[in-house]
Amino acid sequence: MTVQRRALFDRLTSVHRPDCALFADGPLPMPVAGPDDLAPLLGSDQAARYADACRPVFEDLRRVVGQLAGLMILAQLTDSSEVAGLGELASCRRRFDEAGERIRQLVAPDALEPHREQLVAAHAFSGLALGTFSELRPRGDNEAAFDTISRHVRRAYAHLSAATAEKAGLAMVDLSHACCSCGR
């Protein structure tokens, strides 16, 4: 382990709880340069092409993560495993599959590969959460499954947050109809 990695490990173990999502496998969800940051380096055309291809992926994942979190809340607080059979979960799965297909076709310039990796990781952890919904049992003790879903969703969101790039249209909140949107 290099000194740098050792320092990172020490920091993680001292700052984060043992069940922190950062301890799961995969790249760390750390902010990376996005297409808007790298446009001057890559040239605006190349950065714009990547941003264009990214937008539907980001939107898919934004929705998948939000739906998974919302469905988990409903499943837990209504004490219901029926969420696993809801149409919303089926549509979430479809969107997850579409995102996967788009990610497979997503080609990133070398400098933006870390950005693409964050999207890949967000997709992967969303998949882990999605798969765990099928483990919910009627009238059973689902606490462990909820913990697992929650952990994976949190991690997926962290990766997606790391890949936000406001100017490239990769934003977590659509503010066009919000209490701050004053037509600027």
Partner 1 sequence: MSDYSIWVCEYSYVKNYHKSGVLYGAHNQGFVKLPYCYVVIKGRDHVAMVDVGYNDKDYGKVLGDRFGVENWRSPATVLAEIGVKPEEVDTCFITHAHFDHFGNVEDFPNAKFYIQEREIAKWVWAMSLPDRLRWMMVAVDPGDIVRGADLARQKRLVTVNGALSDVLPGIDLHAADDSHTWGSMWVTVRNDGQAQSQDTWVLAGDLVYVFENIHGPGAAVDEKEVYTPVGLAVGSQANLVLATEAMMKQVGYDSHRVIPVHEERLRDTFPSRITREGLRITEICLADGETSKVSA
Binding site for partner 1 (CB under 8 A): 59, 62-63, 65-67, 69-74, 76-78, 87-88, 91-92, 95, 146-147, 149-150, 153-154, 157, 161, 166, 171-184
Residue placing its CB nearer to partner 1 in the complex, 43 or 181: 181
Could you tell me the CA-to-CA distances from 28 to 1, 121, 131 in Å, in that order?
16, 9, 22
Task: Transcribe 6-63 into DSSP letters.
Answer: HHHHHHHHHHS-TT-GGGSSSS-------HHHHHHHH-HHHHHHHHHHHHHHHHHHHH
Q: Least distance to partner 1 from the beta carbon of 116, Å?
A: 20
Do residues 7 and 90 make contact, with C-beta atoms less than 8 angstroms apart? no
* CB-facing half-sphere around the CA of 174: CA atoms within 13 A: 7
Question: With respect to partner 1, which residue has the nearer C-beta, 74 or 108?
Answer: 74
Q: Which is nearer to partner 1, 138 or 183 (CB)?
A: 183
- CB 86 → partner 1: shortest distance, Å? 9
CB of 128 to partner 1, least distance (A): 15
Minimum separation from the CB atom of position 123 to partner 1 (A): 14
